[in-house]
Amino acid sequence: MTERHPTPTEDSLAAKRFYTLGAVRVGSILLLLLGLAIARQVVEGPYWLGVVLAVGGMLSFFFAPYHLAKRWRSERSDDHE
């Protein structure tokens, strides 16, 4: 059985995707914190906006990385057919 070593292009693509997932997670947490700050009146803004941002940040933290990885996985399988 032969081992397959990733090419430099594949390595850089994997690194970009890794950092993208991290950036999405950090951005989601920042969105959640901003929403909580608005809802608690630490930052000026309507209460409903704070709730919407907090819920959106929480949902994006849990689901956006999964959907990105799923999309990237399907692109990879499309390339190898």
Spatial separation of the C-alpha atoms in residues 8 and 25, rounded to whole Å:
26
The pTM (predicted TM-score) of the whole model is 0.77
Question: What are 4-32's pLDDT values in tens digits?
Answer: 666 778 889 889 999 999 999 999 999 99
Position 9 scores a pLDDT of 83
Position 76 scores a pLDDT of 67
Q: pLDDT band at 73, cuts 50/70/90?
A: confident
**C-alpha angle 33-34-36 in degrees, rounded to nearest 5:** 65
φ, ψ for residue 43 (rounded to 5)?
-115, 140
